Every structure is written in C-alpha cells, then in structure tokens.
Amino acid sequence: MSHYDVIVIGGGPSGLMACVAAGERGASVLLIDKGDKLGRKLGISGGGRCNVTNAKDTDALIEHIPGNGRFLYSAFQHWNNRDIMTFFEGLGIPLKEEDNGRMFPVSDKASSVVNALVSKVKELGTDIKTNSPVERILYQDGQAAGVELKSGKTYKSHCVIIATGGQSVPQTGSTGDGYPWAVAAGHTITELYPTEVPIVSTEPWIASKELQGLSLRDVELSVWNPKGKRVIAHRGDMLFTHFGVSGPIALRCSQFIRQVQRKFDTVNVDMAIDLFPDLSLGQVESAFKERLEQEPKKAVKNAIKGWIPERMIPLLLSTADLDGDTVCSGISKTSVNAFASTLKKFLFRACGTRSLKEAFVTGGGVNLKEIQPKTMESKLMQGLFFCGEVLDIHGYTGGYNITAAFSTGYTAGKHAAEAASLFRN
C-alpha cells in the first residue's frame, strides 16, 4: 500500500501517541522512523525508568513548562496527564507516583512502557517502517500530499504529522530533520538552544576541580541579572562538575542563563547558592554563633565540620575573608555576619551551558503562532500537523516534556484522522 489516511514521521512518544489516536478513529496509518527501534529517547527518560507523565494539576503542569506551556491549555483540556495514566493502566502498565508528582511504571522498566505503547500501535493496524529516514514532505497546492524517503520511495497521504523531536541527544534519532520540512511549508523556526543542560563556569575553584563530584542536597540555586534582580530560583539537589554545575536544579536554571545572556548582551551571569533555604540570614548567623560559643578554643574551620559540606569549607571561608585557623572565640561580629551571608548567598559566575547535543531538551522550534492549538495543524499548510519537541515548547524534566509530547501527539493524531475522513467521503 502506498496511500494512507495519515502518515506519522517519528516514533517517539508524540508520534506513537499520534498513531494511537488516529488508529482508534479508524484511519489507515503509516509510521515511519529512521532508527531501528521506536521510542528510544522515551526509553532513556527518567534515568532509564521512563518518566511517563507527572501527576500535578493542569496549572502546575503548565508552570513547569516554561517554554510556552500556555499553548498547551487547549490540548490538555482534551487529553492530559490523567488520560495518559488511564491509557497506560489500561494497557496493563500500573504506575506509581514518586517525588514531585513524577509518574513511573511500577516495574521501573522503561521497556515495559515502550513495548506496551508499540504493541498498541501495532494492534491498531498501523504499518510501521523502521530504518526508513524521510527525506522530504510532498506538498501540493497548499496541501500535504505525502512523503519521500531517502531511498526515493514515496508514500501518499493528505495528512502528514511531523513528530521528529528536537536536536538534543542526536544518537537517539532526533537530529532536527523536521525543521527544514516545516520551513518548506512556510513555517518559521525560533532559535534553537539547549535547555535542561549542565551549566559552565570558569571560576578558578571550578578550574582547579576542588569541588568536582561534590553534591549538595536540598539547597537553592538562583540566577541573577546584571541589575541585581533574581530571575529564577530552584530548590533541590545539585552537583559540582569539572566544568561547572549540574544536577536537577542546575538543569532547571540552565535556560535562564541563556535568557540573561541574550537580554543583557553579556557572557557572565551571576548565580547564587543558598545552603540554608529554610533559614533567614539572622537564623544562620545565630546558628553560626552558637557553634562558635560551643567550641571557643577550636579553629573555626574545624568547628563548622558536620554543619557545612566539608569540601566547601575552605572556599566559603576565603569568600567571607575569614581565616579558618582563627579560634572561634576570636571571631568578630563582622566576620560572623560575612560568613552567614556567604552561606545564604554564595555567589559565582556562569558563562554558558553545555551544547545542544548534550541537553536533555531542545528549546525553540516550530513557531507556535503558526499552529492551531486545538488541532496541532499548520495554519499555513493544510493537512500538515506537528507534535512533540519539534514545536517551540520545552519543559523541565520530571515528565513535563513527555506529557506535552503525548498530549500534542494525541491531539494531532485525532485531528489528522478527522481531516483524513473528509477526503474518504
């Protein structure tokens, strides 16, 4: 067969869910992927356990999708995280909720989710072609007309869904192939950039690797603009690396580094770590004073062991201009205040992030002004639909991108099938 009601390009979460929604509506569907396996990126999400979705309510979901989350209101109204959970439970994949609403399969195996989804797609009669890179999409008189593979083979359809993902971690197949096809249809692509990516710093103590491998638990990391205004703050765990900082809260802050760099035409961006986010400056001062009083004869650098991450002590003391060998009883009020302030706001400079290839998620993509939010259909080319990370939508890791991919995929598949039925009648 070389004519289908709907052709889906890309077998990630968005494309697979588009196949389900179109197949459930009786459409004949062809799914094409250039890799030998479907759902590769989905399979490595959530630390390899597959972070299927997030259990938070719609407003919170959107809040955790800082890259144009509001565009998703319409899609979420019709098919959202609750539907994703019901869908997978219906496939015999029980789910469990972990911290911050993250949903995982009880099996902790990504393969159980990917296999169940692919089986459902097959059960609905979808034709699947793997190892089949698409070269271009065929357009005719303002209407999608089909696709041409790199091999030269063509397949016809009035409804084509681009679900090719972004450009990060290209070894999973997401190499940005969808963008030129969108441009050929008249679309614009907003600038692509890495999000959910480790942050780079050239601070001497990063270059010397003295903190490499040290993780901080339950601290607050913030990004500041050159006017001294806090742009964003995230609380949780982070890690010092040989090039800068990483870990959950660093990844979340990363996109704001680029934002400040662009807005203020600067390279260096101030960041700060609050080691005691639950305490006020006054309370940290009191806690420090109490330690000094308990151990009046000890050197301060020893008195604070067990209270402050040990490997950070020399750096924190020198930042506060406090000699670690000073005995506790000899520390002035000014030094107490300076050290407490350093613990509450340890400032350092970031100078960028790691590359798009290393990012978990691609920022930017197909301009949302050119997409119908209710259907995911192009406003510029009839029968052309988009879903998933190829769109200019990006969220924090934690199931938010996958929720966006499933939801936009379902919406695109449903409406592509409905549009295709008009051609059948």
Ligand X SMILES: Cc1cc2nc3c(=O)[nH]c(=O)nc-3n(C[C@H](O)[C@H](O)[C@H](O)COP(=O)(O)OP(=O)(O)OC[C@H]3O[C@@H](n4cnc5c(N)ncnc54)[C@H](O)[C@@H]3O)c2cc1C
| Closest approach of ligand X to the CB of residue 418, in Å | 21
**Cβ-contact 59, 68 below 8 angstroms:** no
**C-alpha separations of 168 from 110, 221, 413, 415 in Å:** 19, 24, 24, 28
Measured from the CB atom, the residue of 28 and 403 that comes closer to ligand X is 403
Measured from the CB atom, the residue of 9 and 420 that comes closer to ligand X is 9
Q: What amino acid is encoded at 247 in this protein?
A: G
Measured from the CB atom, the residue of 41 and 252 that comes closer to ligand X is 41
Measured from the CB atom, the residue of 162 and 221 that comes closer to ligand X is 162
Return d(Cα 11, Cα 215) in angstroms, integer.
36
Measured from the CB atom, the residue of 14 and 378 that comes closer to ligand X is 14
| Closest approach of ligand X to the CB of residue 405, in Å | 4
**Cβ-contact 9, 26 below 8 angstroms:** no
Measured from the CB atom, the residue of 163 and 206 that comes closer to ligand X is 163
Q: How many CA atoms lie within 13 A of 3 on its CB side?
A: 5
Return d(Cα 425, Cα 419) in angstroms, integer.
11
Q: Where are the alpha helices (DSSP H) in 279-390?
A: 281-294, 300-303, 313-319, 333-344
Please give the residue ranges that form the binding site for ligand X (CB under 6 A): 9-15, 32-35, 40-42, 44-46, 51, 133-134, 163-165, 168-169, 173-175, 177, 360-361, 388-389, 397-402, 405
Q: What amino acid is encoded at 291 in this protein?
A: R
**Cβ-contact 180, 236 below 8 angstroms:** no
Measured from the CB atom, the residue of 174 and 255 that comes closer to ligand X is 174
Structure-block tokens of residue 421: 């039925």
| Closest approach of ligand X to the CB of residue 27, in Å | 19
Measured from the CB atom, the residue of 82 and 311 that comes closer to ligand X is 82
Tell me the sheet residues that pair with 161: 8, 385
| Closest approach of ligand X to the CB of residue 89, in Å | 19
| Closest approach of ligand X to the CB of residue 139, in Å | 16
**Cβ-contact 193, 177 below 8 angstroms:** no
| Closest approach of ligand X to the CB of residue 9, in Å | 5
**C-alpha separations of 47 from 50, 78, 174, 391, 395 in Å:** 7, 29, 18, 24, 17
| Closest approach of ligand X to the CB of residue 87, in Å | 15
| Closest approach of ligand X to the CB of residue 62, in Å | 14
| Closest approach of ligand X to the CB of residue 112, in Å | 16
**Cβ-contact 221, 245 below 8 angstroms:** yes
Q: 363: closest CA among 168, 201, 222?
A: 168
Measured from the CB atom, the residue of 14 and 126 that comes closer to ligand X is 14
Residue 341 backbone zone (phi > 0: left; psi -120 to 50: alpha; other: beta): alpha
